[in-house]
Each structure stands twice: as structure tokens, then as C-alpha cells.
A and B are shown apart, each in its own frame.
Chain A
Amino acid sequence: MSTGKELTRWLDDLLTEIEGIEVRRKSNKRLQVDIAPDALPALLALLRGRASYVHLSAISCVDWPNEEQFELVYHLWSYEMQSLVSAHTRIPREPGVYLSVYDIYPPAAFYERDIHEFYGIRFEGSPDLSKFILTEWDGPPPMRKDFDSEAWVHDHFDWQDYNPEWLQQLIAEGGGIAIRADEQRFSHHDDARDQPAVSQREPERDRQSPNTPEQPS
């Protein structure tokens, strides 16, 4: 354990020596590095080749539409130091092109293909950027903040009509809601405090369901 701590301190010292990057120690096991996009592949090569960070556990992407940027986070894990380095970099949202790190970490191919699909970032040098999970998808990249999922859903799907008689049918068969909303345990407190709301709600409920059979008690 002590060697691990020493190595960690050594790594902090080493990284703070490099110009143009910002190193923040989050905890014993986590280190956040903010780095310019053109220097990131060199940092990854350094961490992998010289500092035992052999496991690229994920590449995550954050969309910052107001700043017109994508933030890419490379999570690197070292089995020997038992610590994680998150390398953050920001690339311009347009045209959304960045370098692949496939030559340093071969598993990056999957993450890059995934990010390409969900955010539309093109990674130069990535071996395969064909469709991965959304094989039926032909719309815009859906995880971008400017993609309106709700509008897309309204365009592409129909909605089930509301059939209140289905519930009546269920109740007539002896099933359905046994405890009404205002009789539930958790709503007593609110009802006692908020009397007018109850008196408004009561006639509405009676009007909506005149044919409700008596609940078996």
C-alpha cells in the first residue's frame, strides 16, 4: 500500500510538471486532469506506457450546447496503483471531429463507435464507426441536448386512447383500485392541513365515476 501511495504522489508531481494541464486530486484513488485536445493522446500514451494505466474503462461524453462544446472524459485505471485518472478534454461542437485513441487503447473502438452513434462525434482513425446499438435509427444523434425526444415520439408513435370503462370493468370484476387516493395512508396528513383542496376534489370524483359499484370492504 505504501508503494502505491508513493507512486500516486510521484504521479501527481510528474503531471503538475507538464505545462498546459490542470491536475486536481479528487481523492486517494481519483485524479482529474483537464487537458487540451491536441495533448490528450500524448498524455494517454504516457500514462499507458510509463505509468501502468493499462485499462481504459470508459470514454464518456457530455454535451455543453451553450458553450458549443463536447466534453470527452477518458477514464483510465491502473491495477498496480489502484487508482483512476479521468482525463477531461473539450472539443468544439462543430464540426465535432476528434482523434481516435484506438492505437493506444484498442478497446476505445467500441466507446468511440458508441459516442459516434449517440453524439455524432467522428473519431479520425477509429476502425469502425458503423451503426452499433441503434441499428434502426435514422434520426439525429439522440443524446445531443438539442434533440427533442418528446417531439420525435409524437411524430413517430400513436398513443393509446384513454378508456376509463376498462377500469370500471375491472372494478366490476372485483379488481382494480382497492384504496382510493384520498383514503391512502400518506394522503391523510395533506388532507388535514389542506381542507379546501379536498372539498374541491370530492364532487369532481363523484361526477367522473357515477356508476362505480360499491367497493367490497
Chain B
Amino acid sequence: MANAGKITGPGDALPVQAGKRTNPLAHVFDELIAFARSRSMFMLHYCTGCGAVELPPAMTSRFDMERLGIQPMVTPRQADILLVTGYVSVKTLKRVILTYEQMAAPKYVIGICSCTVNGGMYWQSYATAKKLNDYMPVDIYIAGCMPRPEAVIAGMRGLMEQIRTGEATAWEDYYRRYDHYLGNQQRLFGETWQTPTDIIAEAEHYDLIGPETRGEHTALLEKHQKPLEALQMQLTFGELERRF
């Protein structure tokens, strides 16, 4: 475990850890997968605030985030990184949580700007959430008001390094301590708050059930939870049908 975070050079023996799987090569591939994963990331930028203006220079030709293997992605289902750029109003926070829960694991959250750290200049505003990591686990904060593209790139490189060495496991925390995050969400949105995603079932699927996955807040959720209904599939061509 001691060398879990150590960077292995090309000649070193790869660390083998005792795990559930018996295949000794499985962890070799884990390393390889982590290496590959850190170099091919799709980023969903949820541009909530002014920090978003630093992203176009970071993504386009001047600072060129794509040379790090980071590309923008259009949908949360295919994205690896959720980039929250700037203040998150209470209303937006709902959408950010919905977006985050839709993303497939492993997923990483970057909070850009001071506002995601502690509210920033909106610290006394009733409408703005203060600590993003109260509501979802955050891997890296890039502080600044606003951080320059160099800082954004540096933060991205930090995240890449954490993914490669296997340290970026904040997303597991959402499953292990779901009761804590749900409690903070309920504190803002009321006790009837629910999302379409069944986090506890996902935690069971990922084998990440911890002692704090269930608690008083999830009990409250189960009390109010309405089962999801499939959307009605319906196609109508009103005007077209009349014409042809």
C-alpha cells in the first residue's frame, strides 16, 4: 500500500496488490488502463459563472488543452470530468447534481474559481451555494478569481497525475458516504428532493456500499421516493400528417 501513490518507472516491477480477482495480470492492466484513462478525458464544462471565459483560451489554439488529451464533450453520459466554473446558485446546483449523477463512473469533478471553494464574492448571498464539496465529491479545486488558463492547465495536469497514480477516487466517496451528501442536498432542497438516479443501487453495483451509504437521510429519501416512470413514446407529425 505504501507505494500505491508512487510513480513507477519503466524498469521497475509493477506493484501487485492483493485483491478480489485472482488473475495476477489484472492489476497490470489496471495500471495500463489508468495510464490510458488519464490521457483521454472528455470534459463536460458546466459554465455557471464568469470562470467560463477562461476556458475558450484554455481549450483553443493558444493553450490547447487537447494536447493533454482533454476534449469537450456534449453529454454527461459520455463525459469523464465535470468542470464547474464559477458560482453555483441553488437553482443551478440541482442541475449540477443531476448532471453529476448521470455521468458514468469513474468520474471526476473540478471546481474552478473561488466561488466553488467557499462562495467567493457571493459569500453572503442567499442564492448561492458555498461549498461544492458539500454536495458532490470534488477532486481538484482550481482557486482564483478567475484562474488564468495556465492555472486551469496546471490543475488539469494535477488531475491527470492523480488519475494515473490511482489517487483520484473521490467519486467512490459519493457512494460510500451518500448519506452525507444527500443530507446536505436535502438541507437546501427540502426533504422531498430526489433525483432519477438510484445511487444506492449503483453503489451496490460498484460494490462500494460503506457504513455511511445509508442513514437517516436516505431513509427520508426512501419515504418520499416515487418510482420512475418510463416516458411515453409518442411521435406525432401534426401538420405533416394533415398535409400528406
Binding site for B on A (CB under 8 A): 133-139, 142, 147, 149-150, 152-153, 156-160, 166, 175
Chain A positions within 8 Å of B131 at CB level: 157-160
5 A-B pairs with least C-beta separation:
A160-B118, A157-B130, A150-B124, A149-B126, A136-B90
Asked if B187 contacts A156 (CB within 8 A), the reply is: yes
User: Does B206 sit within 8 A of A, measured CB to CB?
Assistant: no
Q: How far is the CA of A150 from the CA of B122 in the complex (A)?
A: 11
Closest B residue to A142 by beta carbon equals: B126
Asked if B117 contacts A157 (CB within 8 A), the reply is: no
Asked if A139 contacts B154 (CB within 8 A), the reply is: no
Chain A positions within 8 Å of B189 at CB level: 136
Asked if B130 contacts A158 (CB within 8 A), the reply is: yes
Asked if B126 contacts A160 (CB within 8 A), the reply is: no
User: Can you name 16 extra interface pairs (CB under 8 A) apart from A158-B184, A175-B151?
Assistant: A134-B91, A136-B90, A136-B94, A136-B188, A142-B127, A147-B126, A150-B124, A152-B126, A153-B123, A153-B126, A156-B126, A157-B131, A158-B134, A159-B131, A160-B117, A160-B131
Q: How far is the CA of A139 from the CA of B125 in the complex (A)?
A: 13
User: Does B227 sit within 8 A of A, measured CB to CB?
Assistant: no
User: Does B146 sit within 8 A of A, measured CB to CB?
Assistant: no
User: Does B51 sit within 8 A of A, measured CB to CB?
Assistant: no
Chain B residue total in the interface (Cβ 8 A): 23
29 A-B contacts (beta carbon < 8 Å): A133-B91, A134-B91, A134-B127, A135-B91, A136-B188, A136-B189, A137-B90, A139-B126, A142-B127, A149-B124, A149-B126, A150-B124, A152-B126, A153-B123, A153-B124, A153-B125, A156-B126, A156-B187, A157-B119, A157-B130, A157-B131, A158-B131, A158-B184, A159-B118, A159-B131, A160-B117, A160-B130, A166-B143, A175-B151
User: Does B190 sit within 8 A of A, measured CB to CB?
Assistant: yes
User: Does B83 sit within 8 A of A, measured CB to CB?
Assistant: no
User: Does B160 sit within 8 A of A, measured CB to CB?
Assistant: no
Within 8 A of A (CB), among B104-130: 117-119, 123-127, 129-130
Interface string of B68-103 (1 = CB under 8 A from A): 000000000000000000000011001000000000
Within 8 A of A (CB), among B154-210: 154, 184, 187-190
Q: How far is the CA of A195 from the CA of B184 in the complex (A)?
A: 48
Chain A positions within 8 Å of B90 at CB level: 136-137
Known A135-B91, A157-B130, A160-B131: A149·B190 in contact at CB below 8 Å: no
